[in-house]
Every structure is written in structure tokens, then in C-alpha cells.
Structure 1
Amino acid sequence: MSTPDRDQRQRFLFEHSDIRGEILSLESSYQTTLSKANYPPAIARLLGEFLAGACLLSGTLKFEGSISLQASGRGSLRLIMAECSHHQNIRAIAQTRPDLLATSLDEANAEEAPGLKTLLGANATLAVTINPERGERYQGIIPIESDSLSQCLESYFRQSEQLATGIWLSANGQRAAGLLIQALPEGVQSTDAREEHWRHLCHLASTLSAQEQLELSHNTILHRLFHEQSLRLFTPAEMSFSCTCSSARTLEALASFGKEELQAMLAETNPVEVTCQFCHHHYHFTRADIESAFKSTTATMH
């Protein structure tokens, strides 16, 4: 069996067609993300899928910035979010309602963990947010109508981008993997030939099992699926865990609470401790730190 790739995303093109692809494997970056909190296996797997999805979508961007996937609902899983930047840095977080989650997991089939829609509950939504370093922020929101994140993302592309997109995601708590193929709007092929080729490639990709996706190398997977196709492979990009929090950013966010609320915090504890939800780094700010930041924020507003 071929050795799986680790923490790499690789772009490829189907020659003489209007279809591109991305293939991804995460290992140490995924495990580092999970090490920041004690997630149940079902949530850890979903986080892996969200990370893989964010990485695949980030690879389709043509500008510098970041993209995040965030789902929220009123069920046992309150919020789950993953982010990937153009530097290939990733981070993720999940927030649960522990009592409800325990019930959901107890009621689940022993061989199959509850899916995304089940955990999030009714009226859950998925937000895809693009944050360019220059230009305006964009966000698309769709209702979550499937337990499969892959199907939700495919729906997002149909509704928001109007691009035919196939996405396959897998995670097992140790590794996460993803495969994306997408029809481009250039129109090299005739409409009939294009649609037939697209259906054929989706059929081939759908034969990939989760075990194969998690255990085989990118080259082996692409050869098994598309050995009759002519592929152009690009240099892989290395993915890694990295949090964008900093002392300055955290202090700026703290200063935005308002003077009265800050005074109440300081009356209760000095210094004030703030913990990043993503990397769990602890920041400590004295009264002087907070007052200086508040004055700076107020001056900027005026």
C-alpha cells in the first residue's frame, strides 16, 4: 500500500477540458488542532471534514486572504468552524452543548456517528466567508439540509457560485482528506461533451472509499480514479496549523467592550485573563494595558 501524503494540498487540471481539481491530506496539522481541546470522536471527525473543506475551497481563491466554513444551530453541536489562509495555515473550533451532545451520541447507531444536520438541529445554517486582505468581505449562507458536509458545500457552489462542483471529504480523528473537482466557466468543450465528461469524472470520483482516501497517496488515488484521463499536476502546497491571535489583536478586541464593562472586569480581577478559543493561548492584561488600549481605540474612532 502506498504511503499517504501528509499535510499537503495539490492542484490538478484535466487536460483539454474545463475541469480542475484539488486533492488534500491533513495529519499533524489536524492532530495539532484537535490537541487544543478534548473533542468527542464524532466532533473530531467533523472538525477534520471542516478543515479539509476549508483547505479545498481556499485552493480555489485567486487572491490573498482567508476562507472559513462555519455551521451553527440549536442542537447538541452549537457551532463548528474551520479557517484556511492563503499561507496554507489552518485552525478550527467546535462548541457543543454537553448534555445534549451526550444524549445525541447515546442515541446514535453504534456503527455510525450522527451527522452534521443531526448534531446541529433544526434551522441550522452554513456560512462560507471569504476575507480578502484587500477588498470587501464576502459571505454566502445556505441552510443545512444534509448530514454530509460534502453535499452542503456542493449545494453552496450550485446556489452561490453557479459552478458544478463535486466534493468528497473523510476524517477519522488521525487524518483528514479531501477531493474536489470543479467545472470552470471557460467553455473549451461543447455543452454536451462537457456535461458527459463531468458526469463521468464524478462517477469515477464517487468510487473512492473513505479508507482509500485516508490511507493512499495522492498519486495513487489520482491514478486509480483517473488513469484514463490526461492530468496536469501542480506543485503541492504544505499545510500547517497556525493561529492568527496576538496580544495586540486580543487587547484591541477587549477594548471594544466599552469603558463600564472593562471597569467591571478590572474590579473583579486584575490582571484580566483572556484565552484564545482556537489555540488556547492565555493572555494577561493589566489595568494600564487596558486603559491604554481603550484610549487608543477611542481616539481612532474620533
Structure 2
Amino acid sequence: MPMPDRLHRFLFEHADVRGEVVQLDDAFAEVVRRTDHPPAVQRLIGEGLAAAALLAATLKFRGSLSLQLQSAGPLSLLLVQAGSDGSLRAMARTNGEVPADAPLDRQAAGGSLAITIDPEDAGERYQGIVDPGGGRLADALERYFRESEQLATRVWLAAGEGHAAGMLLQRLPGGEGGDADAWNRAGHLADTVTEAELRELAPGELIRRLFHEEDIRLFDPTPLRFRCRCDRRRVASMLHGLGAEEMRDILAEQGQVEVHCDFCNEPYRFDAVDIEELFADPATRAPDSPARH
């Protein structure tokens, strides 16, 4: 049986090719159960989770990676975040019905795909932006690597029936591998994979089935999980940034201030006493108040 929520790295021996396979059951299910998105949007969320996990695994430092697809089309926002600690979370917003099995230029018309890398410690924040184009999310990611990173990279993504999965192949830069044809051969072999195989086969079996004639080194899997970073303090900092007047207006109208996290839908409620304490206590004025918690 497949081992859910794991990322498996592998390497072609004697060649400048590396790969990853990720499968997500629990994390995908946790995100989906907290929302009421239709299947077309759920598929995009699943593909985005798998993609972010694959990309975050390439980071050489502690930090986080965000994949953000934003548009004026039916899919107005897809935001997925993956941490170097294996944490994943995702959210989506729609503006009308998102057509199923349609290219991104219909689902997210006029949109842009941004990949943002935030180092946890000292380091410069990096962002690359590409046109999503008319294919699927995997095609857009390949374009990102080609245009922003100048790295030969292939990506396969699949989501549905409660499973999300992905595979990435990358040609290592500046290597001196002895098998000059390995990159092309690996791509041709990987192109035979079906979405069902990607979702359902155990990663070790999938890798062996695709590359059974290759000399492959398989590394220990990395566990992944759904985890949202929201908490009451972060939400309080956000409310503080909106100002006392606006908060008191909401209290007068609704009797309380209620905020739901965009990612996990967790409710945070503040009554009149909470709001007065919020603006009376300087300790709540966190310098890193996030606009989106």
C-alpha cells in the first residue's frame, strides 16, 4: 500500500539527474474537508500541494516556499505554502464556476504564477513570476524553471479520488556525469506514467517500474503534514492593525469580532472585553503583524 504524506528523493547514479516523488493523502484531505470547493478547485488545490512539496524539497536552507496563482478569472486565487519542516497548507478563492479539465488560461484568465522563497533566518527573499500559459499547473511550473531558474526540469501532477501526488525530474547543473543521454531517457520513461499510477502506486514501486533498467539510488522518505500557522496572537495583531474605531464599529453591529483563518477555517472570536484589552495592551502590537495569518 502507498505510504501517505511522504516525499521520496532519488538519484540517477553516474548521471546528472535527480528526482522526487510525493504522495499526499492526509494533508490533501485535511485541506479539502475544511472548505466547500467543487471538484475542479479541489483538484487544483491537490496539484498545488504536491507541487509546493516538490519545490520546497529543493531548498538548501530552512524556510518556506509559497506558490501563488492569482487572476481575474474564475479561479481568483490559489495559494499554497510549504515549509522546510514538512508542513503544508493551502487556500483557494473563486469568482464564478471554475471549468473542470480546462487549461489554466481559462481557469485563471489573465493570471500570474508567483513562486516566493522566504528564508527562515538571515537571507534574501526571492520571488519569480511567470505567465501560467494555456496548459496545466505542471506545464506552468516547467516554464518557471526554464525562464526563471534556467534549470531543465520536468513536472507531473495528479489529484483526485482523495489522493494528490507529483513527480519532479531535474538535470543537475554543472555536473560531469558520464551518461550524456540520461536526461532525455529519464524524461521519456517518466512520460509513460499515468495519473492513476502517480496517485496510487507506492513511490518505491513507481520509481522501479518507470526506471527499472536504470541505476537508481533511493533516499529515506521525508514526512509531510498539514499544519496551519495561525493562532490567536497573530489574529489579534492583524485586528490591531485595522484600528480601534473599525473594531468598535464591528462590535456595535455584530456584538463580537469573528475571524476565520483563510487556510484552515479556524474561527477566532473577540468580544468587547477582548477588543478593549487588545488596544490597551502594547504587548499585542507585534512588529511582524501579518496581513494574512
Residue 208 (1) aligns with residue 193 (2): yes
Letter in 2 for 1:163: L
How is 1:47-66 mapped onto 2 (pairs within 5 angstroms)? 47-66=45-64
CA contact (8 A) 1:251 1:293 kept: no
CA contact (8 A) 1:67 1:128 kept: yes
**2: CA distance between counterparts of 1:78 and 1:140?**
19
Residue 291 (1) aligns with residue 279 (2): yes
TM-score by length of structure 1 reads 0.88
Among candidates 191, 214, 225, match of residue 210 of structure 2: 225
Residue 242 (1) aligns with residue 227 (2): yes
Q: Which has the higher helix share?
A: 1
CA contact (8 A) 1:274 1:282 kept: yes
1:11 maps to 9
**1: CA distance between counterparts of 2:283 and 2:64?**
30
Evaluate the alpha carbon distance shift between residue 293 and residue 96 of structure 1 in structure 2; reply closer, same or farther with a 3 A threshold.
farther
Among candidates 165, 169, 172, match of residue 177 of structure 1: 165
Q: CA deviation at 1:261?
A: 2.9
What SS class does the counterpart of residue 223 from structure 1 fall into?
helix
How many positions carry a matched residue from both structures? 285
1:254 maps to 239
Cα displacement string for residues 49-72 of structure 1 (whole angstroms, at most 9, x for unaligned residues) = 000000000110011111111101
Letter in 1 for 2:169: I
CA contact (8 A) 1:42 1:114 kept: no
1:42 maps to 40
**2: CA distance between counterparts of 1:292 and 1:206?**
61
Among candidates 83, 89, 92, match of residue 90 of structure 2: 92
What SS class does the counterpart of residue 256 from structure 1 fall into?
helix
Kindly, what percent of the aligned residue pairs are identical?
40
Q: CA deviation at 1:146?
A: 2.5
**2: CA distance between counterparts of 1:58 and 1:300?**
23
**1: CA distance between counterparts of 2:5 and 2:192?**
23
Cα displacement string for residues 96-130 of structure 1 (whole angstroms, at most 9, x for unaligned residues) = 11xx31xx54xx6xxxx223321111x21001011
What SS class does the counterpart of residue 168 from structure 2 fall into?
strand
**1: CA distance between counterparts of 2:288 and 2:183?**
52
Is there any run of 5+ residues in structure 1 with no aligned partner, and where?
A: none
**1: CA distance between counterparts of 2:10 and 2:84?**
18
Evaluate the alpha carbon distance shift between residue 260 and residue 169 of structure 1 in structure 2; reply closer, same or farther with a 3 A threshold.
same
Alignment RMSD (CA, Å): 2.0
Q: CA deviation at 1:271?
A: 3.1
CA contact (8 A) 1:82 1:90 kept: yes
Cα displacement string for residues 243-288 of structure 1 (whole angstroms, at most 9, x for unaligned residues) = 0001111111121223443343344344311110111111122222
**1: CA distance between counterparts of 2:61 and 2:263?**
24
CA contact (8 A) 2:155 2:166 kept: yes
CA contact (8 A) 2:75 2:107 kept: yes
Evaluate the alpha carbon distance shift between residue 223 and residue 297 of structure 1 in structure 2; reply closer, same or farther with a 3 A threshold.
same
Evaluate the alpha carbon distance shift between residue 298 and residue 189 of structure 1 in structure 2; reply closer, same or farther with a 3 A threshold.
closer
Residue 160 (1) aligns with residue 158 (2): no
**2: CA distance between counterparts of 1:144 and 1:78?**
13
Evaluate the alpha carbon distance shift between residue 299 and residue 170 of structure 1 in structure 2; reply closer, same or farther with a 3 A threshold.
closer
Cα displacement string for residues 9-38 of structure 1 (whole angstroms, at most 9, x for unaligned residues) = 011111112211111100011101100101
1:188 maps to 176
CA contact (8 A) 1:13 1:232 kept: yes
Evaluate the alpha carbon distance shift between residue 280 and residue 299 of structure 1 in structure 2; reply closer, same or farther with a 3 A threshold.
closer
Of the structure 1 ranges 255-264 and 56-65, higher mean CA displacement relative to structure 2 is found in 255-264
